[in-house]
Structures are given as structure tokens and as C-alpha cells.
Amino acid sequence: MKHNPLSQKAQRTGPPPISWIMKTTLENPDIISLAAGFVDQETLPTSGVLSCCRRILEEDVRGKAALQYGTTIGHAGLRESILNLLVEEEGMSQAKNKGTPDNVVVTTGSQSFLYLVTDVLVDPGDVVIISDPSYFVYMGILEGVGADVRGVPMEDDGMSIDGVRRIVEQLRTEGKLERLKLIYVIPYSQNPSGITMSGKKRKELFGLVQETRKEAPVFVLEDCAYRELRYYGEQVAPIKLLDTENDSVIYAGTFCKPFSAGLKTGYGILPEELLGPVLHQKGNLDFGSSNFTQCIIDEAIRSGEYKRHRITVCEGYKTKLKVMLDALDEFAPAQMRWVVPQGGLYVWAAAPESIDTGREGELFNNAVSKGVMYIPGEFCFCPEPGRQKPRNWMRLSFGVESRDNLREGIRRLVEAVEETLAG
Ligand SMILES: Cc1ncc(COP(=O)(O)O)c(C=O)c1O
């Protein structure tokens, strides 16, 4: 008899859609990609990073230290700079939030932080509540750990708190409440919907979690990947700010979106209880992310380069978002609708109801043959047994393409929608 050599986890984990997206993009080099969540190519900070590298490497001792292995938790200077940024921008403080640089863990992008935290908390069958739709790469992590994923609808001002409450009650009835481990939220310009969670909902969610923690070991996993990319609207403080005991909210952040994706550096702020367990796993995984990269980012923050760059990047994205929205206004038929985001990289758009935007559907193939690609919404909806996922949504990224290509990409996409409608 032939035995399956793969672990249960490997058997549970299907191919991530992201691999298929990258492959389709590479196989069609002339395609306008509204799919990939890449950052803007033109504004990447080459000269800023070059001068940071120079300053680091010109000092022999400092340069050599940067080229040596670092610690598992990450570069001390950078961890301090991260906290300082949050103190300055969001009013976090050691007195208020009990977090110190020792609660900050630097990781290889925030993706690996999300992976580590989920791995440390979730056993097969444990419950994770996520918004529906949600960040599809995180859903891959949940599939891998065998989580029982429960989706909560998105509303105009963030995930439905009544929806979360209903799931908590349902879990209580099922006798499964103590298996509720995480509530995953993307409060700023959510991927894919672009929706920013209101301050009111952040407070309500935090309050609900405090209540629920009397019966369940649940944490909020607050993924702030797009916090820095805000072009409109009021600044709203992260949920982490409410966590004055630093015991129930896990904050995930990244430098990939606001600075350089190629440096692939992210971080998390952890409650005391989770710090050791996450570091043990990270120690086994890589015993530390790239030290040199961390030194570059720390230098960029301390020299002011990072803040200057963020202004440039946000101005660039604001213009690109406008180009995409103007093109939708100009070309899209009346039956199409979309969400106008305050920031981030995506416009979440619905084709007319009768159209299936899925990767096997007619629209996707029509769009690719016209030289434009999008993320089928089907990837982003929760895999709930027995329910039919909405079929007509698409995630359109304005991050990577030029302004001309964005307009042309929307024109082609709309043409594909109209041809698909006409059958
Ligand atoms: C919501 C969200 N979280 C986390 C990530 C991971 O980003 P990175 O690992 O590049 O920091 C992304 C990337 O697109 C994202 O959209």
C-alpha cells in the first residue's frame, strides 16, 4: 500500500490563489494587471535606501553589525522606532498601553507575523471569526491550521459587530465558545473591500471581546497593513490603543506598503502572554528576519527619509485612485457598482448580478483576452459549508500600473463586462 508522506497540515493546504495570479500575470506579460497587490514601481525609494545603506556601511563597526545575524525578536533600534512612530502618530504610550519595545517582534513582512500568531493559537477545529469578504492570503493560513472559520458580513463602516455577537452566541449554544481564539480585522482600507472601520465599531468590538474573554481565550488580531496609506477621511486610532492592559489585541503592521515591499519587513505588537510562544516558533522558523533590512528601515525612520517617502507615496496613490474611480465613472455601465475607499490599494467592484467573475467564468477569460486582469471576488469570500458565495465581485488594484494603464485597464474591463452581458 502506498502511504501519503505528507503531514495533515500539508494535506489540508491547497494551492494559494496568489501563486496562480502570479503565474497568469507572468504568462501574459502585456497584460494590465489590476490583480496584483504590488506597490507603485515608480515611487520606490531607490535613492533614499541607497543613502541609508551608505550611512550604515560607511561606518565599519555599524556596517559589520548590520551584516551579521540579528536576534530572533528583531533589531532593538527598529523596535524602538516602531513604537515611537505609533506613539507619535496614534497616541500610543507605554503608560497607556503597557507595551514596550520588548513587545514588538519584527518579522519577514506582516504575512509571516500573521502566520506565526495563528500557528501559535489555533489548533484544528478552533474557531476564527473573520469579515466576509476578507484578505484571501490569510484565509490560506486558516485553511492550513484547520481553523473553523466563521464569516461576518462587512457593512459600510466595517465588519458587523452584531454579526460577531451572533456568532459568539451561536458558539455558546454549540458548546464551542471556549474554542474561539481569534477575531481577525483589517480596520484600515480593508483588503479587498477598501472599507475603513469606524471608531465606534472599534470600541464596540473591543468591548465585546472583553466580555467574551470571560468565557473564551479570544484575541483580536488587528491587521493594520494599510494604516499608513490614507488619502481621505479622518484618522481613526487602532483598536490596540484601547488595549490598556496589553492583553487582548495583537497588532500587525508592515513597511512593505508604505516604504518598500522588496525589503519585506513587518512587525507585530504582542500581549505578554503570546510573546514567548511566538518567539519560540520564530526561533525554530528562522531565528530572526534579515538584520540588514531592519537596519535600513531603522535608518530611514531616524533620518526622516521614511516620513518623507510616505508623503510622496500617499500623494501618488491618491492620484491613481482618482484615475481609477474617474475611469469607472466614465466607462462602467449603470448596473456596475463599487466601493470608494479612503486609502489602501483596492477598489472593490461588483459586475452586474448575472455575471460570474470567477476564474473559470466567462468574464475572466474575456478580460484576459483583452489584456486586463483582476482578482476574482470568489477568493475573498469565506468558505462556509453549504452557502453559495456571491459570484459577481472583483478586486481592482490601482497600486502597480501607471495612470494611463489604469484608465485603459478599466476601459478594457468594462468592454469585457459588456460583451459578457451581451452573451
Ligand atoms: C491585509 C494584508 N495583510 C497583510 C499583508 C502582508 O503584507 P507583507 O507581508 O508584505 O507585509 C497584505 C499584503 O498584501 C495585506 O493585504
328 and 378 in a common domain: yes
Q: Which residues line ligand 1 (CB under 6 A)?
A: 37, 109-111, 135, 186, 191, 223, 225, 254, 256, 261, 266
Amino acid 200: pLDDT: 98
Gap from CA of 111 to ligand 1 centroid (Å): 6
C-alpha distances (whole Å) from 189 to each of 12, 213, 365, 407 are: 30, 27, 28, 22
Size of the chain, expressed as the number of residues it contains: 423
Q: Are residues 299 and 312 in the same domain?
A: no
**Does residue 59 lie within any of the structural domains?**
no
pLDDT in tens, 96-106: 777 789 899 99
Cα 396 to ligand 1 centre (Å): 16
Please tell me the pTM assigned to this model.
0.96
Structure confidence at residue 383 (pLDDT):
81
Across the strands, what pairs with 347?
396
Element at 129 (helix H, strand E): strand 127-132
Q: What is the pLDDT of residue 16?
A: 83
Q: Note whether 91 and 231 are same-domain residues.
A: yes
Minimum-distance ligand 1 atom for the alpha carbon of 37:
14
Is the domain of 154 the same as that of 298? yes
Asked if residue 362 and residue 267 are part of one domain, the reply reads no
Q: How far is the CA of 90 from the centre of ligand 1 (A)?
A: 20
Taking CA atoms only, the protein residue closest to ligand 1 atom 5 is: 111
Condensed to tens digits (0 to 9), the pLDDT of residues 178-236 reads 999 999 999 999 999 999 999 999 999 999 999 999 999 999 999 999 999 999 999 99
Q: What is the CATH number of the domain that holds 38?
A: 3.90.1150.10
CATH number for the domain spanning 82: value is: 3.40.640.10
Cα(98) to centroid(ligand 1), Å: 26
Confidence of residue 423 (pLDDT cuts 50, 70, 90): confident
Co-location of 338 and 238 in the same domain: no
pLDDT tens digits along 58-73? 999 999 999 999 999 9
Same domain, 211 and 114: yes
- Count H helices, E strands: the chain? 15, 14
- Ligand 1: residue whose CA is nearest its atom 15: 225
**Which atom in ligand 1 lies closest to the alpha carbon of residue 255?**
11
**Strand 393-397's sheet: what is its strand order?**
337-338, 346-350, 393-397, 375-376
pLDDT band per the 50, 70, 90 thresholds, residue 246: very high
- 242, 268, 303 — which closes off a domain? 303
Q: Are 90 and 168 within one domain?
A: yes
| Same domain as 117, residue 250 | yes
State whether 36 and 87 are in the same domain: no
Count up the domains in the chain and report the number. Answer: 2
Residue 150 has pLDDT above 80, yes or no: yes
Considering the domain architecture, whether residues 320 and 295 belong to the same structural domain is answered as no
d(CA 414, CA 423) in angstroms, rounded, equals 14
Say if CB 74 and CB 83 are below 8 A apart. no
CA 148 to centroid of ligand 1, rounded, Å: 22
* In 190-261, beta strands by DSSP E: 219-223, 249-254
Cell (9 digits) for 170: 451561536
Nearest atom in ligand 1 to 226's CA: 1
What digits encode the pLDDT tens for the residues 370-402?
999 999 999 999 987 777 889 999 999 999 999
CA nearest ligand 1 atom 12, residue:
225
HSE value, Cβ hemisphere, 13 Å, CA-based, for 244: 4
Cell 474573554 appears where? 213
- Cα 140 to Cα 91, 117, 305, 381, distances in angstroms: 33, 14, 35, 12
Question: Within a domain: residue 62?
Answer: no
Q: What is the pLDDT of residue 318?
A: 97
Q: Are residues 408 and 271 in the same domain?
A: no
Positive or negative torsion for Cα 54, 295, 115, 375: negative
**Look-up: residue for cell 453549504?**
386
For residues 341 and 421, is the Cβ–Cβ distance under 8 A? no
Question: Distance (Å, rounded) from C-alpha 407 to C-alpha 332?
Answer: 12
User: Ligand 1: distance of its center to the CA of 19 in Å?
Assistant: 15
Q: 394 φ, ψ to 5°?
A: -140, 145
pLDDT at 201: 98
Q: Does a structural domain hold residue 216?
A: yes
Ligand 1 atom 16, closest CA:
191
Domain annotation covers residue 61: no
pLDDT for the residue numbered 21: 81
Using the 3D structure, point to which of 263, 278, 303 is the last residue of a domain: 303
Classify residue 122: in a domain, yes or no: yes
Q: Please give the pLDDT value at position 398.
A: 97
Q: Return the percentage of the chain with pLDDT > 70, whole number.
A: 100
More confidently predicted of 299 and 39: 299
Q: pLDDT at position 22, please?
A: 76
Q: Is residue 54 part of a domain?
A: no
Assigned domain for 129 exists: yes
Q: How far is the CA of 346 from the centre of ligand 1 (A)?
A: 13
Has residue 1 got a pLDDT over 80?
A: no
Domain that holds residue 400: 8-44+308-422
Q: What average pLDDT does the segment 361-375 reach?
A: 94
Q: Of all residues in the chain, what percent are helix, strand and coil, respectively (each to 5)?
A: 50, 15, 35
- Whole-number Å distance, alpha carbon 191 to ligand 1 midpoint, is 9
Widest Cα–Cα separation across the chain: 68
Question: What band does 2 get if pLDDT is binned at 50, 70 and 90?
Answer: confident
In a domain, 370, yes or no: yes
For a ligand 1 pocket test, name from 82, 117, 134, 137 the mutation site with the most ligand atoms within 8 angstroms of its C-beta: 137
- The residue whose CB lies within 8 Å of the most ligand 1 atoms, and thus the one to mutate among 257, 264, 317, 348, is 257
Q: What is the pLDDT of residue 194?
A: 98
Domain boundary among 303, 325, 347: 303
The Å distance, Cα 225 to ligand 1 centre, comes to 6
Q: State pLDDT tens for residues 257-313.
A: 999 999 999 999 999 999 999 999 999 999 999 999 999 999 999 999 999 999 999
Beta strands in 78-126 (DSSP E): 104-107
